[in-house]
Chain A
């Protein structure tokens, strides 16, 4: 329980600092928000009026307070470029990223756990050798290049999907997932390779432990030893990697969106950066960072659940 409370406090404090940093980062930018919004054509009085409306004449910390309060209520401000509420724009774009992240993560788990166990179990033998070589290569391929290759092979050559033919989930769920599965594969592959590499060495370490011999001495088969004894132990050090992998997956989805021309958060982010549309940039970054921190918190909880020793340490 102490462990849980401690982790929860860390979560809250981190979230607070993330919001503060993200807010302050965009305060130091030279330039005037009112100017960006109205354009250079507006008169000085008009700009002054807008500045007051936006609260830009108040002290920075007060502005932060107001911003945080609004943000908490789901009001993320208004886009300079489109004059639309940022929250609405994000809500519209977010499902694609969530779907990609979830699918990539699940693929990573589904592939790297069995293969990692296999490679660790047969370390040094042929299946392991083959996997190790493949891993080195897959890990070296940049995410967006993997995306391009997948577009070529599955899209242009095999016609399994139409590149650029993104289907919104409002039109068809199956079309939505059917299209997003390909960028998800592109993101998941390098993560799988990394996951297999880590789990392999973890399994090799665990197989040398005394409790494995004990498990055999009670009559467990090799598969039983691996699944009901070794797996849980060897996953412990991998959990941290998974948490980091999620952050990476989210970041990769921003890039892979461009490869597969998906109108998601990444496209919006890049556009907004080019247009200097700061409320949008700010909101997206706070959201993503918040998501990553929350996932880290959940992984910490997971540690507490599967590692019985942690309660005492924390």
Chain B
């Protein structure tokens, strides 16, 4: 479904040009959950923004190709991008506090994709929005429909974000650190919600995180990035159980109390002290 080959992104407003992403490869099948993991500044967010066509003007894609549903994303015009965003590809972000517009009602934001991409009547839109709101676990959707973001908790807002991203039934949803800003218990709820939505709607999810534990619990495959480059990729279990690359090992050892910690790892740590 999605095929990224040799993607490179460069910031051209600094001298010398700064290479944010270099030679990135990724392929995804429909309904799959794939993770990208790396520390902040490793280029994972850049990659996801490129997938949405939302790169800043200063950032240019210098080489590579992105194919989505057999279409070349790089040759898309602004208009074609607009038709794609929210309909075929949607995105949720790290900060549920600020990612919703403070002066628009939850309902208005929930059904925005429908408003933009379908010719549905207002009533029908509302019905779908209410339905989606209960699907993402928001109680009393009728009441919430008229609420504003500041009246909701962080977890509820992220549910709203997920609902509004899925309401147009996209083939792919990019989740950029969707749980980072949340409490641990809420994190787990959101993760299981994402898994549930993935199974029910068949939406593929590109899950971006710096947290290996989160990635492990939700993804089937993972790509590890470091300084704009892929250092390792493969099925989650393989990569995490027997990391081939030094960086991946380091990332793994940075997790405290992890359940899958291996004795070999511990030995290494002691030796390096």
Contact = CB atoms under 8 A, between A and B. Distances in A.
B82 interface: yes
A236 B101 CA distance: 13
Contact of A219 (B86, B102, B104, B150): B86
Nearest to A220: B116
Contacts of A306: 103
Contacts, number: 76
Given A210-B95, A214-B93, A312-B150, A219 B85 contact: yes
A222 B161 CA distance: 21
A58 interface: no
A117 to B, nearest CB: 16
Contacts of A309: 102, 148, 150
A219 B103 contact: no
A223 to B, nearest CB: 11
A2 interface: no
B87 A219 contact: yes
Contacts of B86: 217-219
Interface in A234-260: 236
Contact of B85 (A210, A218, A312): A218
Q: What class of interface size applies to chain B in its complex with A?
A: 20 to 34
A211 B116 contact: no
A219 B101 contact: no
Interface residues of A, number: 23
A218 B112 CA distance: 7
Contacts of A224: 116
A236 B117 CA distance: 29
Given A219-B86, A220-B82, A221-B82, A214 B113 contact: no
Contact of A214 (B100, B105, B116): B100
A232 interface: yes
B103 A308 contact: yes
Interface string B131-175: 000000000000000001011000000000100110000000000
Given A210-B93, A219-B85, A307 B54 contact: no
Contacts of B100: 211, 214
B99 A307 contact: no
A209 interface: yes
A169 interface: no
Contact of A216 (B85, B101, B102, B103): B85
A93 interface: no
Contacts of A221: 78-79, 82
Nearest to B52: A217
Interface in B78-127: 78-79, 82-87, 90-91, 93, 95, 98-105, 112-113, 116-117
Interface in A289-314: 306-309, 312
Nearest to B105: A308
Contacts of B165: 217-218
A63 interface: no
B82 A219 contact: yes
A217 B91 contact: yes
B98 A219 contact: no
B113 A218 contact: yes
Contacts of B95: 210
Contact of A210 (B78, B99, B105): B99
B104 A213 contact: no
A138 interface: no
B117 A219 contact: yes
A215 interface: yes
Contact of A308 (B78, B113, B117, B150): B150
A308 to B, nearest CB: 4
13 contacts: A210-B95, A210-B99, A214-B93, A214-B100, A215-B101, A216-B85, A217-B54, A217-B91, A218-B85, A219-B83, A221-B82, A308-B102, A308-B103
Given A211-B102, A229-B101, 17 more contacts: A210-B93, A210-B95, A210-B99, A211-B101, A213-B54, A213-B99, A214-B91, A214-B93, A216-B85, A217-B85, A217-B86, A218-B113, A219-B84, A221-B79, A307-B103, A308-B103, A308-B105
**A-B pairs with the 7 shortest C-beta distances?**
A219-B86, A218-B86, A308-B148, A210-B98, A219-B85, A217-B91, A211-B101
